Amino acid sequence: MDQFIINGGSRLRGQVEVAGAKNAALPIMAACLMCDGSVTLRNVPQLADVEHMATLLRKLGLTVTRDGHTVRLTVQDEMNCHADYELVRQMRASICVMGPLLAKRKRARVAMPGGCAIGDRPVNMHLTAMRRLGAEVELSEGDVHAQAKRLSGAEIFMGGPFGSTVTGTMNAMMAAVLAEGRTVLECAACEPEVADLANFLNACGANINGQGTPRVVIDGVDSLKSCEYRIIPDRIEAGTFMIAAAATNGEIRINHCPLEHMLAVVDRLRQIGANIERSNEAVVVSSARRLEPVEVTTQPYPGFPTDLQAQVLALLCLADGNSIVTEKIFPDRFLHVAELGRMGAKLRKEGPTVIVEGVKRLYGAPVMASDLRASAALVLAGLVAKGTTRVDRVYHIDRGYERFEEKLASLGAAIERVKE
Ligand code: EPU
């Protein structure tokens, strides 16, 4: 397993390009199961998770070819409807093939995703949505089996105890585009990636309105055609570079930064002491030497994203005072807390909240990545720590950050990948 070796202390300076959004690209690729003809997707990030999705779709009868950031997908054979456990356990987003398979092939067999480093991640709301659209759904041998002679529009409530489900809303939306009649998703997830999926489906001939709001109305159509579509930029990658600029007291120009999707992040980072200025198509982020402590609470969009909680927590370790970070989406998403502690951070976890006592310095240490965003947080901590940090298991980072260490090195970070 590859490692990153980081020598902390460099102020990051220069410019960086934000890649396409992982969490938009994955469901949009899955949605291609429903399209007649070839779909061309642009701005697809080069990530391990995208490769996983391509492998899964090939097993489901598609040809998938890539040329740089352009991916072309064509359905060739509609016989296989089984997303097996081998693939699903490597990537939970595999669940996104359920809605499209059911809508187009009338049956889907998808391994039930298991446990995950960021906590309990049930898919009950996905299954309820499929049932509301008229599918028979049962669990056998660890797989969800869903089938329906035809799907019919329905009113479906997508809210749960921790907010609306993002991929659940996407699955319901994808199943509903080819259903008969009107589907209304109430309390739908409003994340920009959900809206991007809807915009892609509309470009293929679907009839979806209200995407990006809690009430999405889908009028079923008979078929979806091919199209060319450009994936939105990744707000989480952009946010990670903003935090890197603030943490290292640097100045980074972030190109293709989707600032309009990042208001909660901008609000918190400005409060902490970052300067964030729009400059033509880019955003320039720099920071004051003194970082202010703040309260951060993760919430569904447009609130502060859970996918940036670990990274902002790493930043707050160096603030001048006590901060409070509360996780309202995945209350157990705190595996990075113990690892940051190994680097000298003073953190106390109380249920879904971490009290961060700012310290003057972090110190390099060997640490272990546990999931994608926690790993990014450890890299950020390594960039500011005194001495050398070794981050193990960086395959987690390769799942969701394109050429992360190369981008950081081009900004002046002393980071290198050591191949196993
Ligand atoms: N939930 C349920 N029942 C369900 C589904 C979800 O109770 O059927 C709960 C979850 O346990 C959680 C909350 O609802 O407490 C929200 O989960 P959601 O379903 O929205 O998460 P997801 O769709 O599985 C996506 C992203 C995650 C991101 C979350 C929250 C993709 C592929 N994944 O997951 O991204 O953290 O939304 O914004 O879009 C990442 O990129 O690192 C990542 C984990």
- pLDDT tens track for 317-371: 999 999 999 999 999 999 999 999 999 999 999 999 999 999 999 999 999 988 9
**Rounded to an integer, what distance in angstroms lies between the CA atom of residue 18 and that of residue 258?**
9
- First-to-last CA distance in the chain? 5
Sign of CA dihedral 314, 316, 321, 323: negative
My answer on whether 377 and 275 are in the same domain is: yes
Sign of CA dihedral 248, 251, 254, 260: positive
Residue nearest (by alpha carbon) to ligand 1 atom 40: 307
Q: How many domains does the chain have?
A: 2
116 is catalytic: yes
My answer on whether 184 and 248 are in the same domain is: no
**Rounded to an integer, what distance in angstroms lies between the CA atom of residue 155 and that of residue 148?**
17
Considering 195, 230, 265, which residue would you say is the last residue of a domain?
Answer: 230
Residue nearest (by alpha carbon) to ligand 1 atom 10: 121
Percentage of the chain exceeding pLDDT 70: 100
298 lines ligand 1 (CB under 6 A): no
- pLDDT tens track for 400-419: 999 999 999 999 999 999 99
My answer on whether 13 and 34 are in the same domain is: no
- pLDDT tens track for 363-392: 999 999 889 999 999 999 999 999 999 999
401 lines ligand 1 (CB under 6 A): no
How remote is the CA of residue 122 from the centroid of ligand 1, in Å?
Answer: 9
- pLDDT tens track for 187-230: 999 999 999 999 999 999 999 999 999 999 999 999 999 999 99
Q: Which structural domain range is residue 36 located in?
A: 22-230
pLDDT of residue 274: 97
Average pLDDT rounded to a whole number, residues 46-50: 96
How remote is the CA of residue 87 from the centroid of ligand 1, in Å?
Answer: 18
My answer on whether 207 and 279 are in the same domain is: no
With 90 as the cut, is the pLDDT of residue 28 above it?
yes
- pLDDT tens track for 271-316: 999 999 998 889 999 997 899 999 999 999 999 999 999 999 999 9
Considering 176, 206, 230, which residue would you say is the last residue of a domain?
Answer: 230
* Cis preceding linkage at 233, omega within 30: no
My answer on whether 44 and 12 are in the same domain is: no
Residue nearest (by alpha carbon) to ligand 1 atom 29: 166
How remote is the CA of residue 300 from the centroid of ligand 1, in Å?
Answer: 10
How remote is the CA of residue 118 from the centroid of ligand 1, in Å?
Answer: 10
My answer on whether 215 and 73 are in the same domain is: yes
Which of 32, 35, 81, 116 is an active site residue?
116
Burial label for 86, CB within 10 Å (0-12, 13-18, 19+), is exposed
- pLDDT tens track for 149-186: 999 999 999 999 999 999 999 999 999 999 999 999 99
CATH of the domain at 336: 3.65.10.10
My answer on whether 237 and 226 are in the same domain is: no
165 lines ligand 1 (CB under 6 A): yes
pLDDT of residue 289: 81
My answer on whether 252 and 366 are in the same domain is: yes
My answer on whether 246 and 218 are in the same domain is: no
My answer on whether 195 and 255 are in the same domain is: no
Name the pTM for this structure: 0.98
My answer on whether 225 and 314 are in the same domain is: no
